[in-house]
């Protein structure tokens, strides 16, 4: 196998972290909307937790993307 082909395969595998980030973000905001509909008065209280969960899930996806770029361009 050539080195370039191995780099492409490795970068593709590293990008699978983006799938998990998308699923995690969907779960976070789906749960937040569900909670906000059930109890609208408590929605502002949970918004900070939803943003923290979003940031952590997105950071996981970005780490995978950075690894893919490192594999491709080094």
> Residue 1 — pLDDT band, cuts 50, 70, 90?
confident
Q: What is the pTM of this model?
A: 0.79
Other C-beta atoms within 10 Å of 61: how many?
Answer: 18
Domains and CATH numbers, the chain: 3-73 (1.20.20.10)
Angstrom distance (rounded) from CA 26 to CA 13: 21
Residue-wise pLDDT for 27-71, tens only, equals 999 999 999 999 999 999 999 999 999 999 999 999 999 999 999
Contact 17, 60 (CB under 8 A): yes
């Amino acid at each position: 196998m050539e080195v370039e082909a191995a780099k492409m395969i490795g970068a593709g595998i590293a990008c699978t972290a983006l799938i998990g980030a998308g699923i995690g973000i969907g779960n976070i905001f789906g749960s937040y909307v569900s909670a906000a509909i059930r109890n609208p008065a408590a929605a502002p209280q949970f918004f900070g937790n939803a943003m923290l969960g979003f940031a952590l899930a997105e950071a996981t996806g970005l780490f995978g993307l950075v690894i893919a770029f490192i594999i491709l361009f080094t």
